[in-house]
Structure 1
């Protein structure tokens, strides 16, 4: 066998290997022109890309995408190093796609490596596009499970404390107000003892559903204990937090849970704490709200109390109905 035949056979074998790759490999020159496409035969994950050969990125992709992709290609060529790029792309965004792959936007992990140019040829790079949509969906699902309470679907304590730390830093940096509301169900143990834990679970789910209707878009609700919840009120001064808390209290009172035993009426007690200008101890902030919640319970339940100053006149409940009562200084 001659040297030429050996080389030709080897090239045929390499071509067969490249074409058999499940993920597509694009060869793209410095100008952004697709000069070759290999692989990508797994149609569950990829559209056919042969129609891209000869096209410029600028002509077949949205501006935001082609600018990103071209910058990555040129960085790989200029530095002579491997580059990576994670991105989302849908068939409808590609001007000449064969549109025979998966529907809807897909997530990809791109691995881009420079190709040594032949004399007189433009430098180029190979772009391996790996569809990672399934992995990302699973990662997002695991992330959600790590942040959410199984029973109520609200955020859990772990997420709340991490978010609180971030928001306190942001509020200090931007000089904005921040408040915390803590609340729990009055006499919740009696509900479990009288109706059973299944009804108790339904009561908590009903509570959360009712709270969500009353909360503002910027309010972050989390379950931080058995029947205890916390609300992070962003960009909120104490008077606004008071209004939110009272709306929640009245909303729960006015929305009984329908059960086989008849309507189950619940009330809640709430405590409010405002972030001080130099707040750094997150647990102390949360503890002040808990102390106000304890004060609300000690004052008769079904009421809202403000953390400072700890005075009975700072409470509002069914006995005084002080909806126009000014907040303490």
Structure 2
């Protein structure tokens, strides 16, 4: 019987020590009581130095409070609890690791231990490094909201931003302006020199607009050669100046077309702002589009409507 027991313990110990993900034993009083596994050094630092120390002694204050609440909830309810958190090795006092981490993401599964082996109610805290998954989720989210060529917001996501900013403006009684810039020469460049040069023209215009708008608002690519800007807390007269500067910056760029040929980009733009409490985004869209149409056949390039 003793031999079988020793053999079983030996097997369990070998399995536990071979586990790539760490299992912490966390006490109800906020103490790291034990650690099992966690041998994969490409994902985890060595946490043995944490044993016997309390969360508040080794973790940032808010993180320590959060950990303790999760542990105590699991003990009180007797149920599985789950938590996601971001933590860098440098955030944990006493952890030394050759890995350079700006903050790894972890998913923990926390479950109470029935045994009184550790002298107090405790839980097992299985920590799994999910940083790669988080990065993938961020990339998917980015692709769903951004135009792949210019990295500006895509049409659908931008329209949601406009609705949100208009609602904020109404709630806070603040101005908000909408601006639209249409490139005049995109089709000509694409027809004569191909889509690669067309993409170059779009990127040049997008870069110029971003350099002007910066933190003043949000920019969206509405179609192949049309851009929009929503400028929170900016009146139409100021939005006109910003849009005019964006157009001037666009036209100042030279695009090499090949055979030593170059061209500059020209555009027309419309500007409007929120006028009445009852207005919605559709009303502003119509006005900026009407403003641009009113410029056709004239020498003007920007118009407030």
Same topology, TM > 0.5? yes
What does 1:266-277 correspond to in 2, within 5 Å? 266-277=265-276
Q: Could you tell me how far apart the structure 2 residues matched to 1:185 and 1:301 are?
A: 15
Task: Say whether residues 1:122 and 2:112 are aligned partners.
Answer: no
Deviates more, 1:149-158 or 1:131-140: 149-158
Q: Pick from 4, 15, 34: which aligns with 1:17? A: 15
What does 1:178-189 correspond to in 2, within 5 Å? 178-189=176-187
Residue in structure 1 matched with residue 210 of structure 2 by the alignment: 212
Q: Could you tell me how far apart the structure 1 residues matched to 2:51 and 2:45 are?
A: 14
Task: Say whether residues 1:33 and 2:31 are aligned partners.
Answer: yes
Task: Note the alpha carbon deviations across 1:181-207, whole angstroms, 9 max, x for none.
Answer: 111111432222333332221111111
1:213 is paired with a residue whose SS is helix
Residue in structure 1 matched with residue 110 of structure 2 by the alignment: 112
Task: Note the C-alpha offset of 1:178.
Answer: 1.2
Q: Could you tell me how far apart the structure 2 residues matched to 1:176 and 1:8 are?
A: 74
Task: Note the alpha carbon deviations across 1:249-304, whole angstroms, 9 max, x for none.
Answer: 222233332443433122111111212443564333322222222222x2526511
Q: Could you tell me how far apart the structure 2 residues matched to 1:123 and 1:301 are?
A: 79
Task: Note the alpha carbon deviations across 1:71-105, whole angstroms, 9 max, x for none.
Answer: 22122222222222211111122222242556442
What does 1:159-198 correspond to in 2, within 5 Å? 159-198=157-196
Tell me, yes or no, if the aligned pair for 2:163 and 2:280 is still in contact at 8 Å. no
Tell me, yes or no, if the aligned pair for 2:256 and 2:262 is still in contact at 8 Å. yes
Task: Note the C-alpha offset of 1:168.
Answer: 2.3
Q: Could you tell me how far apart the structure 1 residues matched to 2:73 and 2:19 are?
A: 25
Tell me, yes or no, if the aligned pair for 1:20 and 1:41 is still in contact at 8 Å. yes
Deviates more, 1:272-281 or 1:67-76: 272-281
Structure 1 pair 283–117 and aligned structure 2 pair: CA distance change class (3 A): farther
Q: Could you tell me how far apart the structure 2 residues matched to 1:73 and 1:102 are?
A: 29
Residue in structure 2 matched with residue 225 of structure 1 by the alignment: 223
Task: Say whether residues 1:77 and 2:79 are aligned partners.
Answer: no
Residue in structure 1 matched with residue 49 of structure 2 by the alignment: 51
The root-mean-square deviation of aligned C-alpha atoms, in Å, is 2.2
TM-score (norm 1): 0.85
Task: Note the C-alpha offset of 1:174.
Answer: 2.4
Q: Could you tell me how far apart the structure 2 residues matched to 1:76 and 1:104 are?
A: 29
Q: Could you tell me how far apart the structure 2 residues matched to 1:279 and 1:48 are?
A: 60
Task: Note the C-alpha offset of 1:6.
Answer: 4.2
Q: Could you tell me how far apart the structure 2 residues matched to 1:131 and 1:48 are?
A: 14
The runs of 4+ residues in structure 1 deviating greater than 4 Å are 4-8
1:12 is paired with a residue whose SS is helix
Residue in structure 2 matched with residue 257 of structure 1 by the alignment: 255
1:290 is paired with a residue whose SS is helix
Q: Could you tell me how far apart the structure 1 residues matched to 2:137 and 2:214 are?
A: 29
Tell me, yes or no, if the aligned pair for 1:91 and 1:103 is still in contact at 8 Å. yes
Tell me, yes or no, if the aligned pair for 1:249 and 1:302 is still in contact at 8 Å. no
Task: Note the C-alpha offset of 1:169.
Answer: 2.4
Tell me, yes or no, if the aligned pair for 1:186 and 1:301 is still in contact at 8 Å. no
Residue in structure 2 matched with residue 314 of structure 1 by the alignment: none
Tell me, yes or no, if the aligned pair for 2:193 and 2:257 is still in contact at 8 Å. no
Residue in structure 2 matched with residue 322 of structure 1 by the alignment: none
2:223 is paired with a residue whose SS is coil
1:163 is paired with a residue whose SS is helix
Task: Note the alpha carbon deviations across 1:29-76, whole angstroms, 9 max, x for none.
Answer: 011111110111111111111221111112222223212212221222
Gaps of 5+ in 2: none
Residue in structure 2 matched with residue 315 of structure 1 by the alignment: none
Aligned length: 304
